Amino acid sequence: MNTQTATPTDVFDRLRRHFSPKLALSGGFAGRGAVEVAAEGCRVTLSDGRTALDFGSYAVTLLGHRHPAVTAAVRAQLDAMPTATRSLANPVAAEAAAHLSGYLGDTLPKVYFGLNGADVVEVAVKLARLATGRTRILAVHGGFHGKSLGALALTHSPLYRTGLLGCAVDVAHLDAADPHALAREVAGGDVAALVLEPVQGENGALPLPTDVLRQWCEDAARHGTLVIADEIQCGLRRCGERSVALADGLPVDAVLLGKPLGGGVVPLSALLCTERMYAPLATDPFLHSATFGGHPLSCAAVPAALTAIEELADHGHRLAAQLDDVLGELHHRHPEVVRAVRGRGLLRGIDCASPHAAGTTLVELAGTGLLVSPCLSRPTTVRLLPPLISTAAEIAEAATLLDAALTATGRTLRSTPAG
């Protein structure tokens, strides 16, 4: 049996047998019994012939599905040399690193490639501790930085640490409403780095206050503490800028990128940092390594993906303005369901009156043909992640589908007895 001949029933049976049965349950619910079989642009095709508008995919498909320039670059590399010897120098990884550093203005010249966000969070923390000779790390309330054991210590929600007491990194979390929180923590001289998301994706598309972040960065610099901007979800024009932190004038020592970095075609993440932070790896390049780090098939996507993103940047600003209008109107039309709308650029959150209201809205959307993403750390929020390639008509279509779902949620809430 293969994927061409497998029926949806076969797929769900395999999921139940080989993965968590809950994945089969949630996937079956989201697709109403159908599975995803193809995708192009902003559309996903299901096994029953229906199509869905993809404003979800956890921020990976910034360029939509199967962007032609990216797929062509990856296909050419597949035909030439899809993997690396790890002994010889590989020009594809070198070109990707140079292209990416130049893309951020060459202020962060050193690069480490991983395959997912947690990869580069882990290496960033490791390098920060080694470069400073300090042990403690600071993160931010509501932040999400991954679920591998080291990265998990930085992720604020305790939900994912159940049964995993004693994570390997000593972390304290700061309140983003307190501009002096970092100064108090670094006074002891043992803090290696602060890790922050300028816009917290899993925490309901929440932008952190720039004035507080700037104060933290200034205090960190005075005490020799490194600052790491985790832009795995909000960077690369998702929130309008190549780097949110750099565009906001924050003097950071590193920027972490991922999700759309592989153009929505291949998995790839990257740490870009200063010479000071990278010094341990410069001394010993095998201090931290991974078999598939800098994989040429993934690195081949970088120039094509960044070029495509830049070509769409102005269009993205126009889409963001349209989203402002659309979400403001939805907030006005559905005050009993929508408590607030948040976000920046093409990373938006619709904050609902309760987790039940958000869950009901997700249930309603599952049948409309609009794919969105829930928020792992804020269950009251429905997250929208429109691709840069979206058209004005597709934003309007999404607004219509959201309006219908919120209307249905409002009816459900009114008919549900209190308590």
pLDDT tens digits, one per residue of 18-68: 999 999 998 988 898 999 999 999 999 999 999 999 999 999 999 999 999
Q: In this structure, what are the phi and psi dihedrals at residue 86, rounded to the nearest 5 degrees?
A: 70, 0
**Among the ranges given (164-168, 170-174, 329-333), the one the predictor scored with the smallest mean pLDDT:** 164-168
| Helix (H) / strand (E) containing 299 | helix 296-299
Q: Is pLDDT above 90 for 97?
A: yes
For 253-297, write each residue's pLDDT tens digit.
999 999 999 999 999 999 999 999 999 999 999 999 899 999 999
Tokens encoding 283: 């001394």
C-alpha 413/C-alpha 392 separation (Å) is 31
Tokens encoding 407: 């209307």
Q: Is pLDDT above 90 for 227?
A: yes
Distances (CA, A) of 306 to 56, 100, 148, 236, 317: 20, 8, 28, 8, 16
**Among the ranges given (93-97, 341-345, 348-352, 415-419), the one the predictor scored with the smallest mean pLDDT:** 415-419
For 356-372, write each residue's pLDDT tens digit.
999 999 989 988 999 99
Question: What architecture is domain 31-63+312-415?
Answer: Alpha-Beta Complex (3.90)
Q: Is pLDDT above 80 for 395?
A: yes
Q: Is pLDDT above 70 for 147?
A: no
Distances (CA, A) of 360 to 265, 341, 355, 364, 383: 32, 17, 8, 6, 14
For 265, residues 6+ apart whose C-beta sits below 8 A from its C-beta are 66, 67, 70, 71, 74, 301
Q: Is pLDDT above 90 for 353?
A: yes
- E strands, 41-126, in order: 43-46, 51-54, 110-114
Give buried/exposed letters for 42-55 (b at 16+ CB in 10 A, else e): bbbbbbeeeebbbb
Strand 43-46 relative to strand 51-54, pairing: antiparallel
For 261, residues 6+ apart whose C-beta sits below 8 A from its C-beta are 236, 268, 269, 270, 301, 302, 305
Q: Is pLDDT above 50 for 135?
A: yes
- Of 234, 273, 232, 195, which is closest to residue 117 (Cα–Cα)? 232
**Among the ranges given (100-109, 165-174, 216-225), the one the predictor scored with the smallest mean pLDDT:** 165-174
Place of tokens 């070198």: 94
For residue 1, what pLDDT band results from cuts at 50, 70 and 90?
very low
Residue 408, pLDDT score: 96
68-311 and 31-63+312-415 share a CATH fold: no
Q: What is the fold, at CATH topology level, of the domain defined by 68-311? A: Aspartate Aminotransferase; domain 2 (3.40.640)
C-alpha 252/C-alpha 256 separation (Å) is 11
- Of 66, 15, 25, 59, which is closest to residue 366 (Cα–Cα)? 25
* In contact, 262 and 305? CB cutoff 8 Å: yes
**What is the strand order of the sheet 381-384 is part of?**
338-344, 347-352, 381-384, 373-374
Residue 35, pLDDT score: 96
State the pTM of this model: 0.94
Residue 160, pLDDT score: 64
Residue 124, pLDDT score: 96
Q: Would you kindly state where each structural domain of the chain is located, as residue ranges? A: 31-63+312-415, 68-311
